A and B are shown apart, each in its own frame.
Chain A
Amino acid sequence: MEQYTLATQLVQYLIAGLTIGSIYAMVAIGFNIIYNVTEIINFAQGEFVMLGGLIMATLCHWLGVPFFLVLPLAMLAVTGIGVMLDRLAIRPVRQPTVMTLIMATIAASILLKGAAMLLWGKDPYDVAAFSGRVPIMFLGASIQPQNLWVMGILGVVVAVLTHFFGNTIVGKAMIACADNPSAARLVGINVRRMVLLSFALSAGIGALAGIVITPLSLMDYDRGAMLAVKGFGALILGGLGSFPGAVLGGLLLGGIESFGAGLVSSAYKDVFALVFLLLVLFIKPSGLLRSGAVAKMKRF
């Protein structure tokens, strides 16, 4: 029966890894959307996730209305915060260079975290699981339905974004802004509006990640920075700017963390992820899914 137990455990770790990996992937996707349009790394990305979870918790608590009515509200609220971030922190910068804009996002992340601490205190908040907490048995492992929700929502985000960037003219316009902003203006694209849209989109996706993970791991004001670091790691792992890379990097990082924690020691789970990240960067500095030539074209 020893064999059976190990196999079960491995499945359990895999599920846990894919779950947290899906969150990292969503954070990485959020980074990418803004990076691709502006070349800015938005350090407030993790804060969007944190705010998604906390706002959701509060709305559920106050309104007590069915879950799926609150979810769009919480996303909308965080999207609004993303829009404000662009309007109040990015656009007013007088001499915008990539560096000063990144500093502005760092400042914004500190501000958002502080505000969250004042509003929600330091305690973690819970949100009801989307479809209960009765575990499902799968290959002998017990899985929370919420685990499936997390992975499913990553799937939906990927599908929607693939359609958006692949088939819609506004999606293509965003790519055009990243490719050549002045040429984009010459065909009538309002580049500033596209930058705004990129902040709104990533904030919405970040919020969704926060909402869907809170039932599994709770949420408090202090979680944003670590999520941003992991999401950024996933991004670098997969290759800055690449969406398939973001997903792959997120899932890999989540998997390594989970197996490392389960098989060796949970005290070192962050170490495994970072060592793996360093190894990949050592062997292929442009990330797994990105060619060196493309990486050189970007100013980073």
Chain B
Amino acid sequence: MLEVRDLHVYYGAVHALKGVSLEVPQGGIVTLVGANGAGKSTLLKAIAGLLPARQGSIRLEGQEISSRGAEGIVAKGLCLVPEGRQVFGTLKVIDNLNLGAFLLRGGKHQAKRQELLDYVYDLFPILEERQNQYAGTLSGGQQQMLAIGRALMANPRILVLDEPSMGLAPLVVREILKVLGALNQKGLTILLVEQNARAALKVASYGYVLETGGMAAQGEAKALLSDQNILKAYLGG
């Protein structure tokens, strides 16, 4: 579904990603873990088209997307839920969700939009309750749900999430991971970046470990979880 090959990304002169490769199979749920500053967000931003790739390829269902720009990549069915949620705080919850379906605007998609909205409200009933509230007034957990809901409104085939558990209470984290599991069950392909490696490896089937701009390890999630060396070296025990 998604295939990254030998990707190099720079911030000016800073070489942030030094030849990273990664693969997410159709219908899979893959996680990417790694310490602070390893380059996880950089990789996701490059995949989503927010950062240019200096070298290497990013393919979505066989098609090269690395020069399409963020808007074009959403249209291709890949949505990023960015680090730190980044909801539109000055707009209402319902507006945030409607904007998620920006590419499906216009009368001919009306039914589809309604279907997606019902689906999102079904997943996160709190969003329906708060639909007329400004997004900036929501709690962190609710904002994260909104950020995921907004991405789902674009009807993606692959959802990419950057640390959805950041700064949230364990109970909320569990709820969000549960929803991701359910979405995956329904056929959505997921790439999940987490610092909370244990939690992420528990929901994922395959995992990658990123360290200072390069892949340090990869394997079945279960194998990574039980590999004492990897746990010690990269995942904080």
State whether the Cβ of A266 lies closer than 8 Å to any Cβ in chain B.
no
A162 within 8 A of B: no
A182→B71 CA distance, assembly (Å): 10
CB <8 Å contact, B86 and A182: yes
Closest A residue to B97 by beta carbon equals: A187
Report the minimal beta-carbon distance from A193 to chain B, rounded to whole angstroms: 9
CB pair B87 A183 closer than 8 Å = yes
Bound complex: CA A180 to CA B82 (Å) = 12
A173 to B158, CA, bound (A): 23
A180 in contact with B71 (CB, 8 Å): no
Binds A, one of B73-81, B168-176, B194-202, B222-230: B73-81
The answer to whether B56 has its CB under 8 Å from any CB of chain A is: no
Q: Tell me, yes or no, whether B88 is within 8 Å of chain A by CB.
A: yes
Question: Which residues of chain B are within 8 angstroms of A178 by Cβ–Cβ distance?
Answer: 90
* Given A172-B91, A180-B86: A186 in contact with B98 (beta carbons within 8 A): no
Provide the bound-state CA to CA distance between A180 and B75, in Å.
Answer: 19
Give the distance to chain A from B35, nearest Cβ to Cβ, in Å: 24
Judge whether A179 is part of the interface by a CB distance below 8 angstroms.
yes
B74 to chain A, nearest CB (A): 4
Cβ of B86: which chain A residues have Cβ within 8 Å of it? 180, 182-183, 186
Decide yes or no: A186 and B80 within 8 Å by CB, A169-B98, A172-B98, A173-B102 being known contacts. Answer: yes
Q: A169-B102, A173-B102, A176-B99 are in contact. Are A189 and B71 (CB under 8 A)?
A: yes
A151 within 8 A of B: no
Measured CA separation A172–B98 after assembly (Å): 9
Q: Report, as a range, how many residues of chain B touch the other chain.
A: 20 to 34
Least CB distance from B93 to A in Å reads 12
Interface residues of B in 88-126 (CB under 8 A from A): 88-91, 95, 98-100, 102-103, 105
Instruction: Bits for A166-178, please: 1 = Cβ < 8 Å to B, else 0.
Output: 0001101101101
Q: How far is the CA of A176 from the CA of B69 in the complex (A)?
A: 18
- Cβ of B154 < 8 Å from any Cβ of A? yes
Given A175-B88, A175-B91, A183-B86, residue A188 in contact with residue B98 (CB < 8 A): no
Enumerate chain A residues within 8 angstroms of B95, measured Cβ to Cβ.
Answer: 172
Interface residue? A185 (CB, 8 A): yes
Measured CB to CB, the nearest residue on chain B to A177 is: B88
B70 cross-chain contacts in A, Cβ below 8 A = 182, 185-186, 188
Q: Are A188 and B88 in contact (CB under 8 A)?
A: no
Are the CB atoms of B82 and A179 closer together than 8 Å? no
Is A5 in the interface zone, CB < 8 Å from B?
no
Could you tell me the distance in whole angstroms from the C-beta of B123 to the nearest C-beta in chain A?
18
Whose C-beta in chain A lies nearest to the C-beta of B89? A179
B74 contacts A179, CB within 8 Å?
no
Cβ contact within 8 Å between B88 and A180: yes
A176 touching B91, Cβ below 8 Å? yes
CA distance A64 to B90 in the complex (A): 47
Cα A180 to Cα B99 with chains together (Å)? 12
Q: Across the interface, which residues of B come within 8 angstroms of A186, CB to CB? A: 48, 50, 70, 74, 79-80, 82, 86, 151
Taking a contact as CB atoms under 8 Å apart, the answer to whether B82 and A189 are in contact is no
Chain A nearest CB from B227 CB (Å) reads 34
A97 interface contact, C-beta 8 A: no
* CB proximity of A36 to chain B, nearest CB, Å: 10
- 20 A-B pairs within 8 Å (CB atoms) are namely A173-B102, A175-B91, A179-B89, A179-B91, A180-B86, A180-B89, A182-B50, A183-B86, A184-B99, A185-B49, A186-B48, A186-B50, A186-B70, A186-B151, A187-B100, A188-B70, A188-B74, A188-B103, A189-B102, A190-B71
Chain A residues within 8 Å of B, Cβ to Cβ = 169-170, 172-173, 175-176, 178-180, 182-190
- List 6 tightest A-B contacts by C-beta distance, closest first: A185-B70, A188-B74, A188-B103, A183-B86, A179-B88, A169-B105
